[in-house]
Amino acid sequence: MGDGPRPPGPPVPLLIACALGIERLALRSGRGRAGGAPGPVSVLRTGMGPRAADAAVTRALGGGRPPGTAVLASGFCAGLAPGMHPGDLVVADETRGAGAPTACTGTGLLAEALVRAVPGRTVHTGPLTCSAHVVRGHERAELRATGAIAVDMESAATLGAALRSGPRPVAAVRVVVDAPEHELVRIGTIHGGISAFRVLCAVLPAFYEWHRSLLLPRR
């Protein structure tokens, strides 16, 4: 499980991990508008899939990075719940992969911060599950039946690798790029992708607020 907020001390570095170049572009595009971060922030492109994410995060955290670096998995995802739309936000309360679920740190605070950072967008909170491939149709329904609200390929592996490297705060925030009524194969995908990209450009103030909360003393 992830650590809670820490006692006051040196700034906690933040590593934001994403799979795709377009996700990294969106996150880096938002940095100039997000104001100052409370500590060092870096955006890591891991590559697609759980194996690539695991390997990239393990390398990044083993390369002399300060212990306790907070890790936040981000990027796009597929929504599983009926009524979801491209551009909706998903805040994981846990990620589900090959092993035991990983509990996320500060889920409620992160969700509230996203409501303020991206007004007008729906924020969903719940389990985020992992798949090694794009899911459609019946697979989406089967995953929804497990209680998961969204699926992506890297978040569970990212957080799992982060915690294997040492105790630290971890979280996952994804932007819905397709949903049950808006699958990638349908007309309108381009519009949905643009919407999701714009939302991902706007999330950094919320990430920084979550990051800042890690410096507060435990209650």
pLDDT digits (tens, 9 = 90+) for 22-75: 999 999 887 655 556 667 899 999 999 999 999 999 999 987 777 889 999 999
CA atoms within 13 A on the CB side of 57: 33
CATH number of 14-213: 3.40.50.1580
Burial class of 158 by CB neighbour count within 10 A (0 to 12, 13 to 18, 19+): buried
* Alpha-carbon gap, residue 94 to 55, rounded angstroms: 21
Whether 56 contacts 63, CB under 8 Å:
no
Q: Taking the model in full, what pTM does it have?
A: 0.87
Cα–Cα separations (whole angstroms), residue 59 to 39, 75, 112:
21, 20, 32
Mean local confidence (pLDDT), 139-164: 94
